[in-house]
């Protein structure tokens, strides 16, 4: 697959997607969003890919938001479509069924913060800055930032961040639960690859069920989410990986998971 604004690399079972518009700090224009959607669909169906890393080109920015030159001429109907498209792409990332690691190498603002929040896990460079500064443009988040931020950091902090448009540093983002871990900028991709490698050795179907149980379960009443978990817990017993994992433990050896 050839893209204008994305780089797609494969390192054995790990795919690295780089948003590649460094001149505009990797702002997401409609074309980039479309390419991201197509790349995500391809990675979802590629059984050879077990983990995905998403990052931004250059040293300054992960993604500095939606492309403001496009937003400036947006119509009401076009804006609705754009938001729905962005939400659809981010939903696909959140529910890819394999871990997606955001390697936040700089600014993650607006749509960039929303993209990072749709990922399964977030590693941030100590130089990263995150926020939802849409209010400064007289607009509001459109790629479900109001929804994901409040679920990740709680209603009060989400209100504060989105209403103020303030940018926060990586350590504050870690403190409030917006990122999982902060690492020195120079080590970001090494750490992301290390984490991806660990996850790539895990049981793929179990990972898919965990992601599904947490994502879907959070939208359900507790009791229904628990029943959903129990169903997946039962279903996992049909996999070769379940037999391999338990047998390997009893035989005191490392399990080799095949995703079957």
> Which one of 107, 143, 209, 257 is in contact with ligand COA (CB under 6 A)?
107
Residue 241 sits in the site that holds ligand COA (CB under 6 A): no
Instruction: Identify the active-site residue in 9, 11, 94, 134.
Output: 134
In angstroms, rounded to a whole number, what is the distance separating the alpha carbons of residues 91 and 183?
A: 27
Residue 130 sits in the site that holds ligand COA (CB under 6 A): no
Smallest distance, ligand COA to C-beta of residue 144, A? 13
Instruction: Identify the active-site residue in 35, 59, 114, 160.
Output: 114
Residue 69 sits in the site that holds ligand COA (CB under 6 A): yes
Label the pairing between strands 100-104 and 121-125. Answer: parallel
From 47-55, 85-93, 132-140, 171-179, give the range in contact with ligand COA by CB under 6 A. Answer: 132-140
Is 256 among the residues known to form the active site? Answer: no
Q: Binders of ligand COA: how many residues, by CB under 6 A?
A: 16
In angstroms, rounded to a whole number, what is the distance separating the alpha carbons of residues 187 and 73?
A: 39
> Which one of 3, 8, 24, 126 is in contact with ligand COA (CB under 6 A)?
24
Locate the DSSP E strands across the chain: 6-11, 14-19, 51-56, 61-63, 100-104, 107-109, 121-125, 129-131, 168-169, 181-183
User: First CA to last CA across the chain, in angstroms?
Assistant: 27
In angstroms, rounded to a whole number, what is the distance separating the alpha carbons of residues 78 and 89?
A: 16
In angstroms, rounded to a whole number, what is the distance separating the alpha carbons of residues 217 and 71?
A: 34
Nearer Cβ to ligand COA, position 26 or 239? 26
Residue 66 sits in the site that holds ligand COA (CB under 6 A): yes
Is 134 among the residues known to form the active site? Answer: yes
**What residues are annotated to the active site?**
114, 134
């Amino acid at each position: 697959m050839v893209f204008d604004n994305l780089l797609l690399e494969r390192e054995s079972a790990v795919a690295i997607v780089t948003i590649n518009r460094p001149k505009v700090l990797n702002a997401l224009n409609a074309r980039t969003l479309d390419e991201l959607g197509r790349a995500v669909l391809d990675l979802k169906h590629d059984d050879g890919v077990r983990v995905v890393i998403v990052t931004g080109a250059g040293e300054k920015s992960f993604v500095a938001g939606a492309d403001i030159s496009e937003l400036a001429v947006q119509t009401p109907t076009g804006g609705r479509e754009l938001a729905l498209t962005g939400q659809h792409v981010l939903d696909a990332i959140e529910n890819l069924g394999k871990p997606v690691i955001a390697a936040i190498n700089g600014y993650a603002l607006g749509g960039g913060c929303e993209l990072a929040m749709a990922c399964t896990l977030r590693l941030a460079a100590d130089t990263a800055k995150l926020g939802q500064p849409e209010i400064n443009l007289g607009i509001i988040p459109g790629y479900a930032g109001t929804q994901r931020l409040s679920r990740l950091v709680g209603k009060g902090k989400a209100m504060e961040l989105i209403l103020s448009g303030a940018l926060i540093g990586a350590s504050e983002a870690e403190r409030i639960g917006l990122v999982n871990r902060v690492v020195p900028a120079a080590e970001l991709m090494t750490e992301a690859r290390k984490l991806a490698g660990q996850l790539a050795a895990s049981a793929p179907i179990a990972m898919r069920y965990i992601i599904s149980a947490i994502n879907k379960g959070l939208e359900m009443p507790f009791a229904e989410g628990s029943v959903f978990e129990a169903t997946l817990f039962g279903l996992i017993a049909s996999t070769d990986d379940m037999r391999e994992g338990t047998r390997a433990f009893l035989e005191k050896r490392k399990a080799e998971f095949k995703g079957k």
